[in-house]
Amino acid sequence: MSQPKHILCIVGTRPEGIKMAPLIKALKRESWARVTVLATAQHRGLLDQVLSLFDIRPDVDLDIMRANQALPELTARLITALDEKFVELSPDVVLAQGDTTTVMTAALVAFYRRIPFGHVEAGLRTHDLDNPFPEEMNRLVAGHLARWHFVPTERSRQNLLREGIADAAIHVTGNTVIDALLEVAATDWPLDIPLDPDRRLILVTAHRRENFGEPFRAVCRAIRTLVDRHPDVEVLYPVHPNPNISAVAHELLDGHPRIRLCSPLDYAPFVEAQKRACLILTDSGGVQEEAPALGKPVLVMRSETERPEAVDEGVVRLVGTDEERIVEEASRLLDDPRAYRQMARGISPYGDGKASQRIVDVLRAALCQDASSVMGES
């Protein structure tokens, strides 16, 4: 058999850790692949949490994160640091997932160094560069530099075809987040936060840059009003450490007896919290994918989503950041059992838990001339 192919897997933030973990594990089982894991650590604590849950130890750690990092300086530092490592490691392939600054710079540096780039979770689009900001730009850049586009759904495939990407380079695999979710959700994990079993739980997360400032203040006011109007409801809100979010969340929500702010939860307890919730309010991408699979209604506090499949199925609703609209939409679900039941259907438009294996199969076929004999070995 020829030399194993050197696959460099990049992870930067919490969701990249979660979504790359099943793929890294699947690649490590392949005899034709030599896997190096590079953590940019664009997120420090949040990334460390998820990698340790999945028992992944990065081979290289760029330790990039700085407090309240601005996008231009983050981008500049990532380009320089990634380039140094790409030259030193000389991989055959670079793989990265999603639409963060880590992913956009990894794709760009791979392009400059003529290393084939595989984009995991390709083809998501809102067609609006301001929403989400800067992620829509990041995925456009990464998408146009990729050799392989691993798209979660047929809809994301169509987005790429409309942009002139060759059909043969697009592979509908499902989203690896469902691989991770199914593995973790199969176990009941302790949630070390005392919750009142007699109250209905609303789970909240928020972090989007385009919501910083007044939109996020309106979200916080809506949460308070909602809880005040529903005495049998309690809120659990693991606060993202971005200071633009955490300072405002604590200023506006601290001290309410039925609103519990806590540090970001490890992935396993967060999945447990989703399982226990009756309703989820979020601007997160990953949560829009996971919650429907767990049968939980989601109200998305954004004006647009690149994940329209669950909206079309009627299990996710876009409600924006208007205070009254959020209160009204959430109250409708809390007060009207029929409306609630219509949204609380367990469906999984983003995957079946086998996305990582499909990605491995595509890479094996593309990279191994002796693929058939290697397939027999793996």
As annotated, the active-site residues are 99, 121, 135, 207, 209, 240
Does residue 216 belong to the site contacting ligand UDP (CB under 6 A)? Answer: no
- HSE at residue 214, side-chain half, CA atoms within 13 A, is 1
Decide: 94 and 110 in contact? Cβ < 8 Å: yes
Among 15, 58, 174, 292, binds ligand UD1 (CB under 6 A): 15
In terms of CB distance, is 45 or 337 closer to ligand UD1?
A: 45
Q: Of 65-73, 251-259, 303-311, 360-368, which segment contacts ligand UD1 by CB under 6 A?
A: 65-73
Give the one entry of ligand UDP, ligand UD1, none that residue 117 binds, where binding means its C-beta sits below a cut-off of 5 to 8 angstroms depending on kind.
none
Q: Cis before residue 152, ω within 30 degrees of 0?
A: no
162 by Cβ neighbours in 10 Å (0-12 / 13-18 / 19+) ranks as exposed
What does DSSP assign to residue 120? E
Tokens coding 263? 């540090």
Does residue 285 belong to the site contacting ligand UDP (CB under 6 A)? Answer: yes
Q: Please choose, from the candidates 75, 166, 173, the residue with its C-alpha nearest in 3D space to the C-alpha of residue 121.
A: 173
Give the one entry of ligand UD1, ligand UDP, none that residue 45 binds, where binding means its C-beta sits below a cut-off of 5 to 8 angstroms depending on kind.
ligand UD1
Mask 246-275, x = binds ligand UDP (CB under 6 A)?
Answer: ------------------xx-x--x-----
- Report the alpha-carbon distance of residue 146 to residue 134 in Å, rounded: 19
Q: How many beta carbons lie within 10 A of that of residue 213, not counting itself?
A: 11
DSSP-derived secondary structure for 123-137: ----S-TTTTTTHHH
In terms of CB distance, is 101 or 153 closer to ligand UD1?
A: 101
Does residue 18 belong to the site contacting ligand UDP (CB under 6 A)? Answer: yes
Among 51, 287, 300, 355, binds ligand UDP (CB under 6 A): 287
> CA angle at residue 175 from 171 to 179, to 5 degrees?
125
Give the one entry of ligand UDP, ligand UD1, none that residue 67 binds, where binding means its C-beta sits below a cut-off of 5 to 8 angstroms depending on kind.
ligand UD1
List of residues contacting ligand UDP (CB under 6 A): 14-15, 18, 177, 205, 207, 238, 264-265, 267, 270, 284-287, 290
